[in-house]
Structure 1
Amino acid sequence: MDGDIARPNYNPFIRLDLRDNVVVARLPVAAGTAVPAEGVVTLQDVPAGHKIATRFIAKGEAVRKYDTVIGFASEDLAPGTWMHSHNILFDAVEKDYAYSRDYRPTEFVPQPGRATFQGIRRADGRVGTRNYIGVFALGAAGATAARRIAAYFTPDRLEAFLMVDGVAPFAHEGGDGMERGGEPMALLRRTIGGTLRNPNTAAALVIASAAEVNDLEGFLAGQGLERGPALRTLVIGEEGGLRRTVEAGIALVREMLPLADAVTRETVSAEHLTIGMQCGGSDGFSGLSANPALGVAMDILIRNSGTAILSETTEIFGVEHTLTARAVTPEVGRKLVERMDWWLRHSEGRDSQINGKVAPGNNAGGLANILEKSLGGSKKGGSTGLMAVYEYAEPVTAKGFVFMDTPGYDPVAATGQIAGGANMVIFTTGRGSCFGSLPAPTMKLASNTPMYERMEADMDVNCGTIIDGEETLEQAGRRIFERLLRHASGERTKSELAGVGTNEFVPWPIGVTA
């Protein structure tokens, strides 16, 4: 990399907008390095992904990246100064929600010319990208049984069922010691029920104890579910304990296997893809490469009549006005602001991300505060209109770009998206992540080449080519979209090959624990 700096005309910094007063280091840059493109010399060592001032910035003046305010100078700052959380103050930013001002209808690809993949069509017309039998625990008391039943069905025991991707446990820590009604129970039941109905779930076994608050009959009735060949139930107290429940569960799954196996993949339109977008372990490059490249890919998907779900409400704080301006109606935009206001009340006075500080890994990677992180994270949403805003785990029915209210914690956020109907997840990362998910598989994008090379066994796509100057955002976005079609057609992602996903079902534990 040092040789790159020595190359004639090589600029070790990236300028994102002509109106910015900072630029971002492509690689570690030593103090005293001349940057002719900006007419400055670095005054301190600058880590990769971090920023320098390109002109004098007065104390209190706005710091601008992508022509968006990411904070305010804590002191007078000379050109070439390393800019980070030590001299960029987090403070309230004046926002103009400009509801629907920038909305433009999407120009769709005509039906005959739309992209296709090899999907699994269900009886009701929905299309899956995978084919799992799920073993669902209604509460923590059923978690061990669910895990043991699923673990029994090893690849060797599924050899005869070529179309079944696996038997997956969906265990969690809730279901008891909680409010019996209201939002917490409705949210938990909606999450379990939505995952059970996900188009990637071919059949399901639901396990309850005899006494948990999330009782079996109440769950089934509340979710409009009826027992049948593809939906079986067990109550541990009635079966005679854990061992007998596991034995009975294995027998029931065996009965469902031929039913789940009786499917084929067929050519279907990309309009049947619903993508949950996630980011975790972000760095200073995430908002320059992986996130905007994913946004380009999702714009392509949406023009092909597919759906992309942006979430992690606390991680769009400070830039939510850029989304409300793209809302199809003012009502959609106002719903997003209402969810943000809920989070601000919920987090008031607490040491949480929405109140300024980002996680230590994000900070080390070059993100000074939540405003800067939000700026990069929101770029996953591409450029099309915001068509709907959903609460956590609500069924996503709108086509196009939508938003789902979730926490920023990746497993909780992705769980809500999958419960809402996402049949694939795409996850961007700059610091590295080993995240995976079921029944919707996760495809991971690396923001920079060094991390991709270190963690190649976990990363599906390297977007560091953008930072390296080898590829444009548009080229990378097209490559991501084409890779998405391959994975949606059955090609295993790196997280699937690593066997990751059985521990990442994490419903949002909102509410009182008694």
Structure 2
Amino acid sequence: MRRERLAYLQIHPEDNVLVALRDLPAGFMIDFAGLQFPLLSAVAAKHKFTLHALPQDASIFMYGVLVGKMNVAVGQGEVIKTENLRHASDDFKMGTRKLSWIQPDVSAFKERTFNGFHRSNGSVGTANHWLVIPLVFCENRNVLTLKSALEDKLGYQVESKDYSDEVDALIARYKSGASVDELLAVDLSSAKANIRKSRLFANVDGVKFLNHDMGCGGTRMDSDALCGLLAGYVTHPNVAGATILSLGCQHAQASILRDEIKKRDPQFDKPLFVFEQQLEGTEQELMQKAIKATFAGLSIANEQKRKPAPLHKLCIGLECGGSDGFSGISANPALGYLSDILITLGGSVILAEFPELCGVEQELSDRCIDEATADKFMHLMKTYNAKAEADGSGFYMNPSPGNIRDGLITDAIKSAGAAKKGGTSPVTAVVDYPELANLPGLNLLCTPGNDVESTTAEVAAGANVVLFTTGLGTPTGNPVAPVIKLSTNTKTFEKMPDIIDLNCGTIIDGEETIEEAAHRILEYVIAVASGEVQPKAVQLGQDDFIPWRRGVSL
């Protein structure tokens, strides 16, 4: 049932600004909570305007928390923008535990299952991949050579256009003497798409090649963290086994990787083939051994088949990128409600991107199950922000130009909306990168706000599905876990249907409640986890993988 679409919204009763839900012209009359006043200037959709006249240095509240202070005095009905608002957030300290929460009705999902790949350690994968990984950047070329040799022959070539037909059309026009303007005007809409070959190994979803620029030359901390991250991928429930290429002399040694694997899975029994180029000798010897081992491993992986699993075997990674002024009132709260549903069912949720939790530290620390967990969260937040400030870029520098243009003026505004993805349940664990964060309940994982670095870390921490909200649009994906993209507004969803899976703009449009959207999203998650639906990022082969160097990355 369609509901009346509002023109503006107060997110929290304590907020002293309203959010425009559509473009509002100057002079538009506001009638809210006994107040009637005209807008002093035009307010674009997603942006905020004041409920009262405010003096210089007055505090601005959104989501019930401090998100900024006024640089100058403003009148009632004035738009909030970078020129008149600066970042500000409340300090935080050890508080009392606030662990009570209202669990959602989960009757619709209590007996539901998904069809996944059951591993010997009790985890369940939503996909079945084989990995080829370099321990050091020196092996990247060899990994790409393996990719060239294996991917197409085995039927794993991405089912998307390579645009070679478009290039052929332009070459023909150029040879015929076309001018620059004529080349720019060529119609390429009829160019053909690639045809995907059938897979040789029907039960293996893909062979994934994870190149990176680390493993040596940096700090030992970074190389050790890389081994931990790669171990998270090798032991991941969506992975059947791996081929590892090592040069031999680098910091990131195979022995460190094996130790990290054992930390995460003491009874690890997946096929694991490690080849060291300096021991093997010639490139041909290395490559032939790696090809034979990978092919044999794929034949083992192909014996795995999907079987029913309860929903508590899902571990959902929560991510946002290209956020806008609607993120915190549509897609993110919908994921928050979904998170509460899954946690009530006994599942796991990972909330990351610590620079985007600035301003809500007190709420999240108070929700931690005990003081030790709260102290760890606060310590990680303070240490990370202090390092950023020491490098001249605190958390307040997090919003991107696109964020600001679409209404996220300060980091605290962005963070308060981003945190809504985590729902209302207690925080069961706080985990530092690159460790596992897959305990039942809400896990806080220390990662940057950088979309790909954070998604890469969440998957290594155990997420077997990632839910990614976006207001501006982003193609981000992951090689191992399916990344489901959710638009915060209908306009972006309709403009970028090739990269976005679901529309949460229906909440803004008055077509759905947050609860209804959450139920719809979870139904889609179940279909994806069962292999019945491929998200757009999977279809496009958007295998983004960037390990985090523990420096400043916002």
CA shift digits 1:84-112 (9 cap, x unpaired) = 22211223424354242344596896999
**1:146 Cα deviation after fit:** 1.7
Residue 242 of structure 2 is matched in structure 1 by 204
Q: Which runs of no fewer than 5 residues in structure 1 stay unpaired?
A: 1-8
The correspondence of residues 155-174 of structure 1 with structure 2, limited to 5 A, is: 157-158=154-155, 159-174=199-214
User: Which of the residues 67, 82, 90 maps onto 1:93?
Assistant: 90
CA shift digits 1:163-218 (9 cap, x unpaired) = 101100112111011234xx333311110111110010101001001321212234
**1:229 Cα deviation after fit:** 7.1
Residue 181 of structure 2 is matched in structure 1 by none
Query: 2 CA distance for matches of 1:452 and 1:485?
Result: 21
Residue 326 of structure 1 is matched in structure 2 by 367
User: Which of the residues 252, 255, 258 maps onto 2:299?
Assistant: 258
Classify the secondary structure of the residue corresponding to 1:432: coil
CA shift digits 1:331-351 (9 cap, x unpaired) = 111110010011122112434
Q: What letter is aligned with 1:500?
A: Q
Query: 2 CA distance for matches of 1:401 and 1:226?
Result: 26
Query: 1 CA distance for matches of 2:311 and 2:346?
Result: 7
Say whether 1:296 aligns with 2:370. no
Residue 219 of structure 1 is matched in structure 2 by 257
| CA RMSD in angstroms, aligned pairs only | 2.4
Say whether 1:34 aligns with 2:29. yes
Classify the secondary structure of the residue corresponding to 1:136: strand
Query: 1 CA distance for matches of 2:478 and 2:260?
Result: 26
User: Which of the residues 66, 69, 73 maps onto 1:69?
Assistant: 66
Query: 1 CA distance for matches of 2:456 and 2:235?
Result: 13
**1:417 Cα deviation after fit:** 1.4
Matched-pair contact (CA < 8 Å) for 1:12–1:35: no
Matched-pair contact (CA < 8 Å) for 2:104–2:341: no
Query: 1 CA distance for matches of 2:360 and 2:283?
Result: 50
User: Which of the residues 378, 383, 387 maps onto 1:337?
Assistant: 378
Residue 472 of structure 1 is matched in structure 2 by 513
User: Which of the residues 223, 235, 246 maps onto 2:287?
Assistant: 246
Q: What letter is aligned with 1:20?
A: D
Matched-pair contact (CA < 8 Å) for 2:216–2:223: no
Matched-pair contact (CA < 8 Å) for 2:240–2:270: no
CA shift digits 1:127-163 (9 cap, x unpaired) = 0000000001101011221233134333552422111
Matched-pair contact (CA < 8 Å) for 1:353–1:370: no
Q: What letter is aligned with 1:426?
A: L
CA shift digits 1:410-436 (9 cap, x unpaired) = 111111111111111111111110000
Classify the secondary structure of the residue corresponding to 1:341: helix
- Larger mean Cα displacement after TM superposition, 302-311 or 354-363: 354-363
**1:227 Cα deviation after fit:** 10
Residues 128 and 55 of structure 1, relative CA distance in 2, 3 Å threshold? same
Number of aligned positions between the proteins: 501
CA shift digits 1:58-80 (9 cap, x unpaired) = 22221111222111122221111
User: Which of the residues 4, 13, 16 maps onto 2:11?
Assistant: 16
User: Which of the residues 385, 388, 404 maps onto 2:445?
Assistant: 404
Say whether 1:438 aligns with 2:479. yes
Residue 540 of structure 2 is matched in structure 1 by 498
Query: 2 CA distance for matches of 1:510 and 1:331?
Result: 23
Q: Which runs of no fewer than 5 residues in structure 2 stay unpaired?
A: 156-198
Query: 2 CA distance for matches of 1:111 and 1:476?
Result: 14
Query: 1 CA distance for matches of 2:366 and 2:268?
Result: 45
- Larger mean Cα displacement after TM superposition, 199-208 or 221-230: 221-230
User: Which of the residues 423, 439, 448 maps onto 2:489?
Assistant: 448
The correspondence of residues 222-233 of structure 1 with structure 2, limited to 5 A, is: 222-224=260-262, 230-233=271-274
User: Which of the residues 223, 234, 239 maps onto 1:185?
Assistant: 223
Query: 2 CA distance for matches of 1:241 and 1:103?
Result: 63
Query: 2 CA distance for matches of 1:261 and 1:358?
Result: 44
Q: What letter is aligned with 1:280?
A: G
Query: 1 CA distance for matches of 2:481 and 2:350?
Result: 14
Residues 138 and 24 of structure 1, relative CA distance in 2, 3 Å threshold? same
Say whether 1:83 aligns with 2:80. yes
Matched-pair contact (CA < 8 Å) for 1:427–1:444: yes
Query: 2 CA distance for matches of 1:475 and 1:111?
Result: 12
Classify the secondary structure of the residue corresponding to 2:233: helix
- Larger mean Cα displacement after TM superposition, 445-454 or 69-78: 69-78
Query: 2 CA distance for matches of 1:114 and 1:313?
Result: 34
The TM-score normalised by the length of structure 2 is 0.85
**1:273 Cα deviation after fit:** 0.5
Residue 428 of structure 1 is matched in structure 2 by 469
Q: What letter is aligned with 1:167?
A: V
Residues 101 and 217 of structure 1, relative CA distance in 2, 3 Å threshold? closer
Query: 1 CA distance for matches of 2:267 and 2:330?
Result: 46
Residue 4 of structure 1 is matched in structure 2 by none
Determine what percentage of the aligned residue pairs are the same residue. Answer: 31
Residues 87 and 112 of structure 1, relative CA distance in 2, 3 Å threshold? closer
Query: 2 CA distance for matches of 1:289 and 1:283?
Result: 10
Query: 1 CA distance for matches of 2:284 and 2:29?
Result: 70
Residues 435 and 73 of structure 1, relative CA distance in 2, 3 Å threshold? same
Classify the secondary structure of the residue corresponding to 2:443: strand
Matched-pair contact (CA < 8 Å) for 2:131–2:207: yes
Residue 306 of structure 1 is matched in structure 2 by 347
Residues 229 and 34 of structure 1, relative CA distance in 2, 3 Å threshold? closer
Residue 124 of structure 2 is matched in structure 1 by 127
